[in-house]
Amino acid sequence: MKIFLQFLGATRNVTGSSYLLEVNGKKILIDCGLYQERELRARNWNPFPVDPKSVDFVLLTHAHLDHCGLLPKFCREGFKGKIICTPPTEQIAKIVLLDAAHIQEEDAHFKKKRHEREGRKGPYPEIPLYTREDVEKVFPLFETIEYEEPFRIDNLINISLHDAGHILGSAMIKIKINSGDSEIVILFSGDVGRWNKPIIRDPSMFEMADYIIVESTYGDRIHEDPSNIKNILSEIINSTDKKGGNVIIPSFAVERTQELLYYLSELLYEDKIPHLLTFVDSPMAISVTEVFKNNEKYFDEDMLRRTYSDNSPFYFSTLKLTKSSEESKMINHIRSSCIIIAGSGMCTGGRIKHHLVHNISRPECTILFIGYQARGTLGREILKKPKEVRIHGKMHQVKANITQINGLSAHADQSELLKWLSGFKLPPKKLFIVHGENDVSLKFADIIHERYSWNVSVPQYLDKFTLA
């Protein structure tokens, strides 16, 4: 029996998750993620380290782009096998991939025009990484299985998916390999979620695995206490309402928007905020919210109870889902006391830019950030509270109140990652630490080594290990 594990991404960096498991020649790819760090984006364009034609299965942990975003290219270049994931992951991945293709097509178009105007050539070709057509060719390859339901890859390999508590449908992947007289268990953590997060269930715990591949995004950090979120949110909404302004919230379409609606509906139910018109002004966030509505069986008990009471986060009376651009433009006329949730989450595109144009120069309004703002994004720039910012090619004075809530991360922090690892009763043969910035992964490795004296490794890009 020969088992190899090769690290094709998210090694000493956070995005581009992809791992190749080879068992007696059968090739299984775990995740096929897009690189999003500026300095690593060239890898999206490079040939895959493994020939897609030679891969038999792709197992998908969840629908975030950094885990599924290279699937259209992988399929275009010859992958013909099955993509195994949970039903919500399939549904959300389709939305996310179509949106990604749209952005890439648009970007390529604008870049081409700009380069023509400037008479120069950029470092990458002015073509989209993939198109809508490429994305649609991925869809027939999806095959869904439920959590905890065993799936047979062949007579030696069985896999199962387990709730990761990160986003709806997210999974940890357990792979059991029959090696004659014994069994080898390999466990991929995917993105580890959080305990007591709204809507979805807690991360699954495990007692035993021979090899563990664990993420480490926040391996060096403790998140802010989430119990403050509601208080801060209510304070911001009430004070902005008193001033007669709007609350503008740039939000990510997947999970973050739904979680925000959860908190808003709870504040309304508890009568802590006034009944303000609340717009979800993002076709993508609306589509993802539909997926949530159609997948109640993945909710936790609290969310299920709310769904069947008059306290559902997705159905309160002042909630308006504006899909068409005509409806969206109508919002521009509302000068006071509404809440506008729109994408993109870092203000790099989408309808949020229009709402910023209409509200950022008004001192009575609030721009509320609820997610991480990467370097080089408009969101990051606004957070620095400059005197003015450029939006859609025009300068706008920044007079609105600019503020941020930090406790909404979908990732386990250091204490939660350690809690997850504390479930294992026996040391693994090896623990691989991935999906973290270099220093963070190394620091987390030290902590685990000190605490458990386990055999820990922080692999480099393309490192290959023999597991059996």
Contact positions toward Zn ion, by CB under 5 A? 64, 191
SS3 state at 393: coil
Rounded to the nearest whole angstrom, what is the least distance from the CB of residue 65 to Zn ion in the complex? 9
Rounded to the nearest whole angstrom, what is the least distance from the CB of residue 170 to Zn ion in the complex? 7
Q: Which is nearer to Zn ion, 64 or 73 (CB)?
A: 64
Q: Which is nearer to Zn ion, 64 or 230 (CB)?
A: 64
End-to-end CA distance of the chain: 7
- 178 contacts: CB under 8 Å, gap ≥ 6: 155, 156, 157, 158
> What ranges make up the beta strands (E) of 169-276?
171-178, 183-188, 211-215, 247-250
Rounded to the nearest whole angstrom, what is the least distance from the CB of residue 54 to Zn ion in the complex? 27
Exposure class string for 223-256: b at 16+ Cβ within 10 A, else e: beebeebbebbbebbeebbebebbbbbbbbbbbb
Rounded to the nearest whole angstrom, what is the least distance from the CB of residue 407 to Zn ion in the complex? 17
Asked if residues 349 and 377 have their Cβ atoms less than 8 Å apart, the reply is: no
Task: Using CB positions, name the residue nearest to Zn ion.
Answer: 64
Measuring CA to CA, which residue among 311, 304, 299, 358 is closest to residue 331? 358
Q: Which is nearer to Zn ion, 64 or 358 (CB)?
A: 64
Rounded to the nearest whole angstrom, what is the least distance from the CB of residue 321 to Zn ion in the complex? 24
Alpha helices, H only, 50-118 = 65-68, 71-76, 87-118
Rounded to the nearest whole angstrom, what is the least distance from the CB of residue 255 to Zn ion in the complex? 9
Rounded CA-CA distance 126/131 in Å is 13
Q: Which is nearer to Zn ion, 64 or 194 (CB)?
A: 64
Asked if residues 228 and 407 have their Cβ atoms less than 8 Å apart, the reply is: yes
Q: Which is nearer to Zn ion, 167 or 187 (CB)?
A: 167
Q: Which is nearer to Zn ion, 21 or 412 (CB)?
A: 412
Rounded to the nearest whole angstrom, what is the least distance from the CB of residue 128 to Zn ion in the complex? 23
CB-count burial class (<10 Å; 0-12, 13-18, 19+) for 463: middle
Rounded to the nearest whole angstrom, what is the least distance from the CB of residue 62 to Zn ion in the complex? 6
Rounded to the nearest whole angstrom, what is the least distance from the CB of residue 19 to Zn ion in the complex? 15
Rounded CA-CA distance 69/63 in Å is 8
Rounded to the nearest whole angstrom, what is the least distance from the CB of residue 17 to Zn ion in the complex? 8
Q: Which is nearer to Zn ion, 15 or 401 (CB)?
A: 15
Q: Which is nearer to Zn ion, 279 or 298 (CB)?
A: 298
H or E element that contains 158? strand 157-163
Give the total residue count for the chain: 468
Q: Which is nearer to Zn ion, 83 or 233 (CB)?
A: 83
Q: Which is nearer to Zn ion, 192 or 273 (CB)?
A: 192
Asked if residues 260 and 251 have their Cβ atoms less than 8 Å apart, the reply is: yes
According to DSSP, residue 115 is labeled: H
Phi, psi of 223 (to 5 degrees): -70, 155
Rounded to the nearest whole angstrom, what is the least distance from the CB of residue 370 to Zn ion in the complex? 16
SS3 state at 439: helix
- 205 contacts: CB under 8 Å, gap ≥ 6: 420, 423
Q: Which is nearer to Zn ion, 8 or 34 (CB)?
A: 34
- 409 contacts: CB under 8 Å, gap ≥ 6: 194, 218, 223, 372
Rounded to the nearest whole angstrom, what is the least distance from the CB of residue 352 to Zn ion in the complex? 21
Asked if residues 430 and 209 have their Cβ atoms less than 8 Å apart, the reply is: no
Q: Which is nearer to Zn ion, 96 or 233 (CB)?
A: 96
Asked if residues 60 and 225 have their Cβ atoms less than 8 Å apart, the reply is: no
